[in-house]
């Protein structure tokens, strides 16, 4: 069956590289949402824990419950407030005053500040209202954070948003002192914003997702970064047939053999989350051209190798299909077997 290889060595390399940028492993939160960007939630969580990482972030409560025993804290980034109080190792990101009011007493929360992305978060002029709700409802404020909208682009917006967040941090610190509350952790840097930093990290930690898996979409003017892709995708042969010059392969007969050859079918297709290819132009996967259209459950190549690697680095496929590396890895079916090597 088709399988994904997870390079333990490459993942460790990326974690150490990013930890050094952040100022230590205790200042790095690894983002494991959406099945660890397609790499396998529980596999990557165990590896991160084994490498000394103490904090992680996921999308849902369901994901958090699978891995919270491995970390001091798991932050849920994009789920609705729960009806019941969760384990103290599980924290929720809060994106609005209305959402803040819905949490059970004693819930552990990180409040999102809208510093300019305008996707969600509490405005600067709502911070004191948020504190009133936190105190009134006896909530546990563990963090204050924001998210940069243009960290991987050549623009000054990173600096503008950072100044906005710094101003909000000052307001928060005054309110913390006023109400005698424990100081929350501050965090704002994602992968791109951490990588492009020249000065030491100002926040308590950085949240890194795509870079831990070996990718960045930073403009080349920011330089090159020593990141190594963690995932490679492999397919295994289902069958082989001997075909003649002029024979056509697959749906629509899109591929015509230019010489007599063996053609083999392999066990992965767009039903497994791989991109659908229409066969109208050449698609090369690890130096081998796909023969015709990619089907729901299979694709074809010349030759009769028992297994083939479809990609070791998602950048090529992302460019070919007009998307980003996130899209390539997260679309892969969670049912594809994963092997740590």
Domain layout of the chain by residue ranges: 8-222, 231-340
pLDDT of residue 154: 87
Buried b (16+ CB within 10 A) or exposed e, 268-277: bbbebbbbeb
Q: Which CATH class is domain 8-222?
A: alpha beta
174 in catalytic set: no
User: Using CA atoms, how far apart are residues 24 and 204, in angstroms rounded to an integer?
Assistant: 11
pLDDT of residue 155: 86
Which residue ranges in the chain fall short of pLDDT 50? none
The answer regarding whether domain 231-340 maps to CATH 2.40.37.10 reads yes
pLDDT of residue 337: 97
Entry pTM: 0.95
First to last CA, the chain: 17
Catalytic residue among 105, 174, 179, 251: 251
pLDDT of residue 167: 98
Under a CB-based contact definition with an 8 Å cutoff, are residues 5 and 31 in contact? no
pLDDT of residue 219: 85
215 in catalytic set: no
pLDDT of residue 220: 83
Catalytic residue among 21, 25, 33, 169: 33
pLDDT of residue 251: 95
């Amino acid at each position: 069956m088709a399988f994904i290889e997870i390079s333990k060595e490459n993942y460790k390399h990326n974690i150490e590289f990013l930890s050094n940028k952040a100022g230590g492993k205790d200042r790095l939160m690894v983002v494991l949402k959406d099945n660890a960007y397609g790499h396998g939630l529980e596999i990557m969580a165990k590896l991160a824990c084994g490498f000394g990482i103490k904090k992680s972030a996921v999308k849902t409560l369901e994901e958090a419950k699978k891995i919270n025993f491995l970390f001091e804290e798991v932050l849920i980034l994009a789920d609705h407030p729960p009806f019941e109080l969760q384990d103290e190792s599980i924290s929720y990101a809060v994106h609005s005053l209305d959402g803040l009011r819905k949490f059970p007493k004693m819930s552990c929360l990180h409040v999102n500040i809208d510093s300019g992305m305008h996707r969600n978060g509490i405005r600067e002029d709502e911070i004191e209202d948020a504190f009133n709700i936190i105190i009134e409802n006896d909530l546990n404020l563990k963090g204050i954070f924001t998210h940069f909208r243009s960290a991987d682009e050549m623009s000054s917006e990173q600096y503008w948003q950072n100044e906005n967040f710094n101003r909000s941090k000052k307001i928060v610190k005054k309110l913390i002192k006023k109400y005698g509350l424990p100081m929350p952790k501050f965090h704002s840097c994602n992968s791109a914003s951490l990588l492009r930093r020249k000065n030491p990290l100002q926040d308590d930690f950085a949240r890194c997702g795509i870079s831990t898996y070996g990718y960045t979409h930073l403009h080349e003017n920011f330089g090159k970064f020593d990141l190594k892709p963690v995932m490679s995708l492999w397919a295994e042969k289902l069958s082989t047939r001997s075909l003649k010059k002029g024979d056509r392969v697959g749906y629509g007969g899109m591929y015509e053999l230019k010489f007599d050859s063996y053609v083999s079918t392999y066990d992965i297709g767009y039903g497994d989350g791989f991109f659908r290819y229409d066969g109208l132009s050449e698609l090369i996967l690890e130096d081998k051209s796909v023969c015709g259209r990619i089907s729901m459950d299979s694709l074809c190549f010349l030759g009769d190798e028992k297994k083939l690697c479809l990609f070791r680095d998602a950048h090529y496929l992302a460019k070919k299909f007009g998307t980003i590396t996130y899209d390539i890895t997260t679309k892969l079916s969670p049912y594809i077997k994963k092997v740590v090597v």
